[in-house]
Homo-oligomer: A and B are copies of this chain.
Amino acid sequence: MVILIQCKDRVGLVAAITGVLAARNLNIVSMREHVDVQANVFFARIVSAQETAVEELQLQLKAVLPVDANISINPEPEKKIVLLVTKEYHCLSDILVRNHFNTLGASVQAVIGNHAVLQDICERFDIPFHFITHENKSKETFEQELMQQINAYAFDYIILAKFMRILSPSFVQQFALKIINIHHSFLPAFIGANPYRQAHSRGVKMIGATAHYVTNDLDEGPIIEQQIIPVNHTFGIEDMIKAGKEIEKAVLAKALKLLFEDRVFVYQNKTIVFEY
């Protein structure tokens, strides 16, 4: 079983937690722990080989932890997700393939596109696709339609798999820490539109991609994963875009894996990622 704990730090926390586990005869196979010393916050991810009565364990842990402790035992092992897309197929297809072969670690409920071009690939994988255009309507109306369609599904996360519309703060607030974006640059370089154009113009020797939680500030949410690839003077903007798609796909896949395995904690504007 997996146990996630986030709370104020104090002496004896690990002893208290693991004492509860030992009393229930749970052997700890893997334990990752982090203390943000400045903020005095404690984070832990504990994996036990055995299972036990979850509610009892929850109560026992609650009894030994600070009152504000955030305890999550056996979080949903298979997350449900809804994808928002525009026209680019590379991230979506990668997710659909993994979903199809049951290796995504999550279950794709539906795909919503503000263009219809990706409907075909979704149908090939028997995934519901909803076309909601942003044209000829206010942003407010567009987002209300999105929201209504999203809320027709049970979901843990909304994945922006190259969704090229900026969501308003009011939309984002409805789904706090539930929206994940893949940004086509090594943030915080090249915030905003046309990062590859910016990168080409600046003559950088590497381009990257960043998977992050979406918050109210554009491209400023907590970063989950970043990777880069080298480029050089022979890369035109189109070549950078092509190369960028490979890294976007890889970074989003990695971030989702971490997320779906419950390895990511968010605190203030940063993540604690208990990687392998």
Contacts and interface: CB of A to CB of B under 8 A. Distances in A.
A31 B11 contact: no
Contacts of A188: 189-190, 202, 204
Interface string A98-112: 001101000000000
Give the number of times this chain occurs in the complex, counting copies.
4
A153 interface: no
Contacts of A35: 28-30
A98 to B, nearest CB: 9
A155 B75 CA distance: 49
A67 interface: no
A90 B36 CA distance: 29
Contacts of A19: 15, 19
Name the 7 nearest CB pairs between A and B, nearest first: A203-B270, A12-B22, A15-B18, A189-B189, A15-B22, A14-B18, A205-B226
A21 interface: yes
User: DSSP class of A's interface residues: helix, strand, loop or mixed?
Assistant: mixed
Contact of A26 (B11, B273, B275): B11
Given A93-B97, A253-B246, A232 B275 contact: yes
Interface stretch (A78-86, A129-137, A166-174, A233-241): A233-241
Contacts of A14: 14, 18, 21-22, 28, 31
Contacts of A222: 203
Interface in A13-41: 13-16, 18-19, 21-22, 25-37
A37 B124 CA distance: 41
Given A9-B27, A93-B97, A186-B206, 5 more contacts: A29-B37, A186-B189, A203-B270, A232-B273, A232-B275
Contacts of A205: 223-226, 273
User: Which residue, of A25, A94, A204, A231, has the highest number of chain B Cβ atoms within 10 A?
Assistant: A204
